[in-house]
Amino acid sequence: MTLSRKNILRVLGDAGEPMTLAEIGVAFGISGKKGGEQVLSHLNALIKSGTIIRNRRNRFALSDRMDMVTGRVVGHREGFGFVSRAGEGPDLYLSSREMQRVLHSDKVLARVKNIDSRGRHEGAVVSLLEQGPHHLVGRFVQDRGIGFVVPDDSRFSQDVVVHSDDQGAARDGMIVVVEITTHPFEHRRLGGRIIECIGEHLAPGMETEIAIRKHEIPWEWPEEVTREVVAGDFSDAGVVPEEGRTDLRHVPLVTIDGADARDFDDAVAARRENSGWTLWVAIADVSRYVVPGGELDMCAARRGNSVYFPGRVIPMLPEVLSNGICSLKPNVDRYSLVCEMRIASGGVVDDYRFFPAIIRSRARLTYEKAQSLIDGDTSARASVDGEALESVDTLRLVFDALRRKRFADGSLDLEIAEPVFVFGADRRIESVRTRTRLDAHRLIEECMLAANVCAARFISSRGDGGMYRVHDEPDGDRLSDLRRVYGVFGVRVSGGATPSAADLMSAVEDARERRPDVSETMQMLVLRTMKQAVYSADPSLHYALGFTHYTHFTSPIRRYPDLVVHRLIKQRLGFGPRLTSPEREQLEETADHCSMTERRAEEATRDVYQWLKAEYMQEHIGEEFDGRVSAVTQFGVFVTLDEIYIDGLVHISELGADYFRFDPVRLELNGERSGRTIRLGDALRVQVAGVDLDEGHVSFVPAVRDGRRRKSGKWDRVPE
């Protein structure tokens, strides 16, 4: 039998009891010092992965045979934690004492100690397999000559001790980055040294600086990238017709983006045909400038995507590319990769083709300007090139047909309000408004969806590996919960145990009609039921969109998977060699990595938005707002404020002189004495009671409780 890790696991599994190094060697016909070292090398790798353990008698055994589990530590702000097994079994509860030995995100091997009175599997950490974070962001504190950093992330319950020689220029109260130098599992205390002083805690923009470092988002350009950019030809003059590249400068393409956009990925145009239309979706040809394996490429891959914070962008590519030579600016020549589609009047894409092109955008339209053109605004229409205007009019017809066809085929579309912060010159929030979704937004969305589907079909039909966007159907338990809650509102979710996206869309539309007062809340319930879409090297269903094949092709300036898709399309067109086996294997690694960077960006931006919401509400403590109950839990209700869509918690202790029982089936609180029921969608006027900036939490209390109104922190009787 060949010596391998897989075969070692088979030998240990067949043995039924722990084995010595020599016994394992005999199983493979290996003896002697050199042979023993080979076996031990494999064993150490398996120990590091948590698959096997070495006991005190220096024998080796499978971890699961010894009631051992491997997983990531998940800390809780109250000091306890869990070993998460990623769905491979119940999580292990770690007491606050046990959590003093490990950190949130550590990979550990833990022993199942017992099952406590609450039915939780309680664990004890046996070994540290992989240290989670190597750096933490937090507030530096000096207390009686001792320096320490209080982590910004409350899942880290231990402060980091910093000796005077390792404090650098840090001052008391300053936000810093601390490098972990001693881990509590090995040294019984958490120690570190300060490697960066970010600034004062409440300085404008500090919430973004903290999020960037907390989530380890690459934000500085390495010197190697800078040198490659300086050496490259990224000038407008370098964009000239090339052999094999179609000249499409006669087509009246336009870009339609947000008013503050600078990286124009896509341009669109449409032309009437006898039985339908021709639709062009021209995408910036980033692959023309970013060479596989180069410093630019490796840096873009590490970043995975651009990250958009309020008022700040961490781009995937340097601005000379993202806002310069790759951006499809108006009236300048640009290289692009084009998807040309023939669309029938019923919205079916009858045919399509991809080809490299040189284009020239006729106009840079904002969504608002494009909407004015669609609405027939005379002044707006007079300001646009005649051919471009005719193309926009045709695009509107294409949009209508594509959208009708997509929903007929069973696609899900949720209209959920999104808050937008308006900042003043001092980077403070002046007001909060909701983002208006226009038909111009939907028009671009439909064009991009159509091109993405064509790209997925194209790379799939040619085989040889791919990069796809997949979205699995929701878990059965979550669907059951959704069906139950919808039923409380008199809305039926059809489709049996496995409803399709079309079934969910039908229920959403029914809810909009029956209960417009809680339509937003009910759509949020559907969104929470969904799994997260991810990238994959293999094609699969996109549940929410209802597509059997789907990918991301339209944003290579800001998403690395799109850049990979461009390269794959070019290879299929004969502009590059076929993939080797290692390259095909690397596609799956790239897909997993880009799924991670996408989640990282979402978590970082969510942290910033939560902080900004809390900061805004801090200026309104004591004021009253109207809102609706958007979530019900056993510890209280969350209320989302009307118009500004900021939510906060009304703790159950603030609901009045009653004992409220939580009904997990109907998601409501029922007062035992009063008979009062609080459920999803209930209107509730609240007063802002407080905020926690670091956690991004807002606390509300009812404006009136038990016939009394809260004033100056006390409850005064409301005059009758």
> Which residues of the chain fall below pLDDT 50?
715, 717-720
Contact 491, 507 (CB under 8 A): yes
Q: Give Rg (Cα) of the chain.
A: 29
**Cα three-residue angle 319-320-326, rounded to 5 degrees:** 95
DSSP class per residue in 166-222: G-TT--TTEEEEEEEEE-HHHHSS-EEEEEEEEEETTSTTHHHHHHHHHTT---S--
What pLDDT was estimated at residue 718?
44
Measured distance CA(114)–CA(2) in Å, rounded: 39
Measured distance CA(531)–CA(495) in Å, rounded: 18
CB atoms within 10 A of CB 30: 15
pTM: 0.88
| Tokens of residue 516, six digits | 């417009």
Q: Which residues contact 257 (CB under 8 A, 6 or more apart)?
A: 264, 364, 365, 366, 367
Contact 184, 192 (CB under 8 A): no
Q: Which residues contact 312 (CB under 8 A, 6 or more apart)?
A: 205, 208
3-state secondary structure 471-500: ECCCCHHHHHHHHHHHHHCCCCCCCCCCCC
Q: Is 641 helix (H, G, I), strand (E, B) or coil?
A: strand
Q: Which residues contact 625 (CB under 8 A, 6 or more apart)?
A: 641, 642, 644, 685, 686, 687, 688
What pLDDT was estimated at residue 708?
67
Produce one character per residue of 343-355: b if its CB has 16 or more CB atoms within 10 Å, e if not.
Answer: beeebebeebebb
Q: Phi first, then psi: what are they for 515, rounded to 5°?
A: -130, 70
Cα 606 → chain centroid: 9
CB atoms within 10 A of CB 551: 31
Measured distance CA(56)–CA(3) in Å, rounded: 25
DSSP secondary structure letter of residue 550: -
- Nearest-CA neighbor of 109 among 44, 45, 54, 50? 50
| Tokens of residue 540, six digits | 């699969």
Measured distance CA(489)–CA(515) in Å, rounded: 8
Note every long-range contact of 156-161, with CB atoms under 8 Å and residues 24 or more positions apart, other chains counting.
Answer: 156/75, 156/103, 156/104, 157/75, 157/76, 157/77, 157/79, 157/96, 157/99, 157/100, 158/100, 158/103, 158/184, 158/190, 159/190, 160/136, 160/190, 160/191, 160/192, 161/189, 161/190, 161/191, 161/192
Ordered by where they begin, the domains of the chain are: 5-64 (1.10.10.10), 67-130 (2.40.50.140), 135-201 (2.40.50.640), 233-471+535-598 (no CATH), 476-530 (no CATH), 620-717 (2.40.50.140)
Measured distance CA(7)–CA(330) in Å, rounded: 62
Handedness of CA 656, 659, 664, 669 (dihedral sign): negative
CB atoms within 10 A of CB 717: 9
| Tens digits of residue pLDDT in 340-391 | 999 999 999 999 999 999 999 999 999 999 999 999 999 999 999 999 999 9
Please name the helix (run of DSSP H) or strand (run of DSSP E) that holds residue 297, with its range, or none: helix 295-303
Exposed/middle/buried for 653, CB within 10 Å: 0-12, 13-18, 19+?
A: exposed
Please name the helix (run of DSSP H) or strand (run of DSSP E) that holds residue 451, with its range, or none: helix 439-461
What pLDDT was estimated at residue 706?
64
Q: Phi first, then psi: what are they for 423, rounded to 5°?
A: -100, 150
Produce one character per residue of 181-213: b if its CB has 16 or more CB atoms within 10 Å, e if not.
Answer: bebbbeeeebbbbbebbbeeeeebebbbbbbbb
Measured distance CA(469)–CA(451) in Å, rounded: 13
Per the listing, tokens 């009136």 go with: 704
| Tens digits of residue pLDDT in 649-708 | 999 999 988 999 999 888 899 999 999 999 998 999 999 999 999 899 999 999 987 666
**What's the length of the chain?**
720
For residue 356, the one-letter residue type is P
CB atoms within 10 A of CB 454: 23
Per the listing, tokens 């880290």 go with: 156
- Nearest-CA neighbor of 227 among 288, 287, 296, 285? 296
What pLDDT was estimated at residue 161?
96
What pLDDT was estimated at residue 707?
62
